[in-house]
C-alpha cells in the first residue's frame, strides 16, 4: 500500500478545544511506542472514509505535549495531507493520579460511615424525647403509689443515661471522622495540583481525487514519557552462575493511555539534538580595564555620526512569509522485529543507540507512575571472591566477577541483590567506569570476621634534630567460620605526601601489594574453614618540628 508522507514543523496552531467544523471525528489507535530514556515516539493509525475533494477530520486520543517538529502524517491511496492543527482537548475527562483516586475513595468511605453514625445519633435523640415525655406523664399519674412511681422513674432514668452515653460516644467518633475528612480533603487538594495533562487532538485537512477509504498513520514524539533500567541479580551459591534480569521502569504522563501497544525501548534521547558541535578559533587577548565615565564622554566627542538608511523590506531567505501547504518528508519508520521474556525481546545495537523490541503487548496508563517491564534474562559465568576494607566497614562482602559483559547492552542503574534465595539489599551497576571485568556486590557475609586495630605498643613519637618522626602500626585479623575455603581480598592504605617537607618512611606492608602513587595496600588471602589469619602494616611520618599534620 502506498503512502504519502508529510511533516508539519511549520504549520502548527495551538488553540483551545472548541468543536471545529470537522466533517468527521475519529479516534487514533496507538499501536506502537518507542520509549527513549527521555520522551517517546508514538505510532498511531486510523481508517477514514473521505469524500471527493477536501475533508477535515478531527483525530482524538493524541498526546498533550507533542513535539511539533516530529509530527508526521501519512495517508494511503494517493490522498494528500494539506494541513494539520493541534488542539489541547480541555473538554476530555480529567486524568488524576492514582494517589488522588485513592484519596477520593477514602473520603467517600469515611463520609458514608460518618453519615451512618449521624443517623444513629438522630435515632437516639428520638428515643430520649420519648423517655422525657414518659417521665413527665409518669410524674403526673396520681394512680401509682410511691414505690411503683419510683421504680418507673428509675427505669426511665437508667435508659436515659444509656442513650446519653451512646450519644456522647457517637459524637466523639463523628468528630474524629470530621477531622479525618478535613485532613483527607486537604491532602486531596494538594494531590490534585499534580493532575496530569489532558490529551490533545489533531484537525487534519485531506484532499482526495475520488471518494475513498484511506489508512492514516500519525507519528510524533512526546516529552511526557521515559524509562530507566533496573536489575535483579541472583546467585544460588558462591559457585553457581549469576542470573541477571534486565528490566525497565517505564513512566508516561502524555495525557493518553497506551493500551496493548508494541513497545520498543531505546537508549537514545531525541531531546539531546542531532547536530555535532564545532570548535571555533580560540583567540587570546590582553586584559583591558573597564573604561571610566570621563572616557565615555571623551569618546563621544570624537565620534562622527553617520546617517544610514535601512531597507524597509528584508528579502532574505529566513524572512519570506510562509504560504502554507504540505511538505514532503523522507522520514521512514523502523518496523520492530517480531520475535518469540528472551523469546519476546529482540536487541538491535547495529546503530548508534541500542533498542529492545518487545513483542508482547503492554498497557501503560497515563498516570506518571513506574511500570516494570522485563527486557532480558542473562546467565553469566562468574568467579567469586570475598572483599573487605576494614578501615571503612567492619563487614566482608561477597563479590561476583563477570567478564565479557560488553555485549549485554547494560546501562547505569539500581540493582536488587538476591543470594541463596534471600534478598540482601540494593546495589548499583555503573558500566561507565568498567574495564575488562564487572564486579557485582552480593552483600555482606557475617560468617567471615575481619577486625582492624591500631597497635599502641609500636606507636611512637621521636624528635630527631629539627624533625618529628611519628610511627604507626595496624594489625588485621581474619577468621573464616564458613564450612568451605574462601578467597579474600583485603584493602587498606598508607598516607601519600604531596609536600616535600612530609616524608613517608620505614614502610612495613607484610606481603601486601603496594601502589606508591595512591598508597593502596592489597592482600590476597586463602583462608581455610575455621582458620585464623593475620596481616599488618606500619609506617613512619617525618615532618618539621613546630608543624602539625591535621589529617594524620
Three-state secondary structure along 35-97? ECCCCEEEEEEEEEEECCEEEEEEEEEECCCECHHHCEEEEECCCEEEEEEEEECCCCCCECC
Q: Does domain 99-192 have CATH number 1.10.3470?
A: no
Q: What is the pTM of this model?
A: 0.62
Domain boundaries, the chain: 99-192, 449-544
Average pLDDT over residues 343-352: 58
Q: How far apart are CA 218 and CA 84, in angstroms?
A: 11
Contacts of 534 (CB under 8 A, 6+ apart): 475, 476, 477, 478
Half-sphere exposure of 117 toward its Cβ, with a 13 Å CA cutoff? 19
The pLDDT of residue 285 is above 90 = no
Contacts of 310 (CB under 8 A, 6+ apart): none
The pLDDT of residue 448 is above 70 = yes
Can you give the pLDDT at residue 6?
57
Can you give the pLDDT at residue 100?
74
Report percent pLDDT > 90 for the chain: 41
Q: In the 8-state DSSP scheme, what is residue 168?
A: H
Can you give the pLDDT at residue 323?
30
The pLDDT of residue 488 is above 80 = yes
Give the model confidence (pLDDT) of 358-367 as tens digits: 888 999 998 8
Are 8 and 71 contacting, i.e. CB atoms less than 8 angstroms apart? yes
**What are residue 110's phi and psi, to 5 degrees?**
-65, -40
Can you give the pLDDT at residue 409?
83
Kindly provide the b/e burial profile for residues 461-480, where b requires at least 16 CB atoms within 10 angstroms of the residue's own CB.
Answer: eeeeeeebbebbbbbbebeb
Q: What share of residues in the chain are helix, strand, coil (percent, to 5)?
A: 20, 45, 35
Average pLDDT over residues 101-114: 85
Are 408 and 242 contacting, i.e. CB atoms less than 8 angstroms apart? no
Give the model confidence (pLDDT) of 161-176 as tens digits: 787 888 888 888 988 8
Q: How many helices (H) and strands (E) does the chain have?
A: 3, 30
Are 399 and 387 contacting, i.e. CB atoms less than 8 angstroms apart? yes
What is the average pLDDT score of the chain?
Answer: 80
**What are residue 295's phi and psi, to 5 degrees?**
-60, -40
Q: How far apart are CA 227 and CA 169, in angstroms?
A: 52
CATH of 449-544, picked from 3.20.190, 3.40.50, 2.60.40, 3.40.630, is: 2.60.40
Look at 173-177, 338-342, 440-444 and tell me which has the smallest mean pLDDT.
Answer: 338-342
The pLDDT of residue 3 is above 70 = no
Q: pLDDT confidence of 59, banded at 50, 70, 90?
A: very high
Give the model confidence (pLDDT) of 385-432 as tens digits: 999 999 999 999 999 999 888 888 888 899 999 998 899 888 888 877
The pLDDT of residue 521 is above 50 = yes
How far, CA to CA in Å, does 258 sit from each of 18, 88, 166, 365?
Answer: 25, 18, 53, 6
Are 68 and 84 contacting, i.e. CB atoms less than 8 angstroms apart? no
The pLDDT of residue 251 is above 90 = yes
Q: How far apart are CA 497 and CA 519, in angstroms?
A: 9
Average pLDDT over residues 263-289: 78
Average pLDDT over residues 451-474: 89
Nearest to 349 by CA among 267, 249, 244: 267
Nearest to 429 by CA among 405, 448, 452, 404: 405
Can you give the pLDDT at residue 428?
87
How far, CA to CA in Å, does 248 sit from each of 265, 350, 354?
Answer: 8, 21, 14
Can you give the pLDDT at residue 81?
94
Can you give the pLDDT at residue 114?
87
327-328, strands of its sheet edge to edge: 327-328, 3-7, 72-76, 212-222, 40-50, 29-35, 258-266, 355-364, 345-348
Task: For residue 418, count other CB atoms closer than 10 A to its CB.
Answer: 19
Task: For residue 36, count other CB atoms closer than 10 A to its CB.
Answer: 23
The pLDDT of residue 22 is above 60 = no
Beta bridge partners of 492: 521
The SS3 assignment for 260 reads strand
Average pLDDT over residues 13-35: 70
The top-scoring range by mean pLDDT among 94-98, 138-142, 454-458, 534-538 is 534-538
Amino acid at each position: 500500500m502506498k503512502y504519502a508522507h508529510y511533516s508539519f514543523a511549520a504549520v502548527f496552531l495551538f488553540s483551545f478545544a472548541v468543536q471545529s467544523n470537522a466533517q468527521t471525528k475519529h479516534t487514533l489507535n496507538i499501536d506502537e511506542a518507542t520509549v527513549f530514556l527521555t520522551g517517546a515516539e508514538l505510532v498511531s493509525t486510523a481508517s477514514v472514509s473521505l469524500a471527493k475533494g477536501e475533508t477535515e477530520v478531527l483525530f482524538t486520543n493524541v498526546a498533550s505535549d507533542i513535539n511539533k517538529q516530529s509530527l508526521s502524517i501519512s495517508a494511503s491511496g494517493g490522498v494528500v495531507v494539506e494541513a494539520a492543527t493541534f488542539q489541547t482537548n480541555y473538554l476530555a475527562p480529567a486524568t488524576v493520579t492514582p494517589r488522588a483516586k485513592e484519596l477520593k475513595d477514602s473520603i467517600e468511605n469515611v463520609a458514608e460511615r460518618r453519615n451512618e453514625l449521624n443517623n444513629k445519633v438522630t435515632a437516639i435523640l428520638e428515643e430520649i424525647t420519648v423517655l422525657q415525655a414518659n417521665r413527665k406523664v409518669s410524674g403526673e399519674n396520681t394512680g401509682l403509689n410511691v414505690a411503683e412511681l419510683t421504680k418507673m422513674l428509675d427505669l426511665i432514668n437508667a435508659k436515659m443515661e444509656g442513650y446519653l452515653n451512646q450519644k456522647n460516644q457517637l459524637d466523639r467518633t463523628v468528630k474524629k471522622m470530621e477531622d479525618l475528612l478535613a485532613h483527607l480533603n486537604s491532602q486531596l487538594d494538594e494531590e490534585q495540583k499534580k493532575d496530569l495533562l489532558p490529551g490533545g487532538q489533531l484537525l487534519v485537512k485531506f484532499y482526495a481525487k475520488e471518494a475513498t477509504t484511506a489508512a492514516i498513520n500519525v507519528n510524533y514524539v512526546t516529552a511526557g514519557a521515559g524509562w530507566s533500567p533496573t536489575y535483579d541479580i541472583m546467585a544460588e551459591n558462591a559457585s553457581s552462575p549469576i542470573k541477571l534480569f534486565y528490566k525497565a521502569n517505564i513512566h508516561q504522563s502524555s495525557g493518553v493511555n497506551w493500551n496493548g501497544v508494541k513497545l520498543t525501548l531505546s537508549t537514545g534521547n531525541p531531546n539531546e539534538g542531532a547536530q555535532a558541535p564545532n570548535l571555533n578559533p580560540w583567540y587570546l587577548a590582553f586584559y583591558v580595564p573597564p573604561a571610566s565615565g570621563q572616557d565615555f564622554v571623551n569618546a563621544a566627542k570624537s565620534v562622527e555620526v553617520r546617517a544610514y538608511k535601512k531597507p524597509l523590506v528584508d528579502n532574505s531567505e529566513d524572512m519570506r512569509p510562509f504560504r502554507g501547504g504540505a511538505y514532503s518528508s523522507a522520514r521512514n519508520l523502523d518496523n520492530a522485529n517480531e520475535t518469540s521474556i528472551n523469546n519476546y525481546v529482540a536487541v538491535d545495537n547495529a546503530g548508534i543507540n541500542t533498542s529492545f523490541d518487545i513483542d508482547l503487548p503492554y498497557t501503560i496508563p497515563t498516570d506518571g507512575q513506574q511500570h516494570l517491564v522485563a527486557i532480558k534474562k542473562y546467565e553469566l559465568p562468574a568467579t567469586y571472591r570475598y572483599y573487605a576494607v576494614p578501615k571503612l566497614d567492619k563487614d566482608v562482602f561477597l563479590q561476583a566477577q563477570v567478564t565479557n559483559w560488553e555485549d549485554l547492552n547494560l546501562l547505569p542503574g539500581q540493582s536488587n541483590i538476591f543470594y541463596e534465595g534471600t534478598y540482601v539489599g540494593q546495589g548499583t551497576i555503573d558500566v561507565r567506569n568498567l574495564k575488562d571485568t564487572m564486579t557485582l556486590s552480593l552483600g555482606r557475609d557475617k560468617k567471615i570476621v575481619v577486625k582492624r586495630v591500631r597497635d599502641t605498643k609500636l606507636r611512637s613519637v621521636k624528635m630527631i634534630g629539627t624533625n618529628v618522626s611519628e610511627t604507626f602500626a595496624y594489625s588485621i585479623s581474619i577468621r573464616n567460620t564458613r564450612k568451605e575455603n574462601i578467597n579474600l581480598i583485603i584493602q587498606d592504605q598508607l598516607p601519600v605526601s604531596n609536600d616535600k617537607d612530609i616524608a613517608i618512611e620505614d614502610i612495613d606492608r607484610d606481603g601486601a601489594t603496594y601502589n606508591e602513587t595512591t598508597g593502596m595496600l592489597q592482600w590476597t588471602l586463602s583462608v581455610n574453614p575455621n582458620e585464623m589469619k593475620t596481616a599488618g602494616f606500619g609506617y613512619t611520618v617525618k615532618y618539621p618540628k613546630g608543624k602539625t599534620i591535621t589529617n594524620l
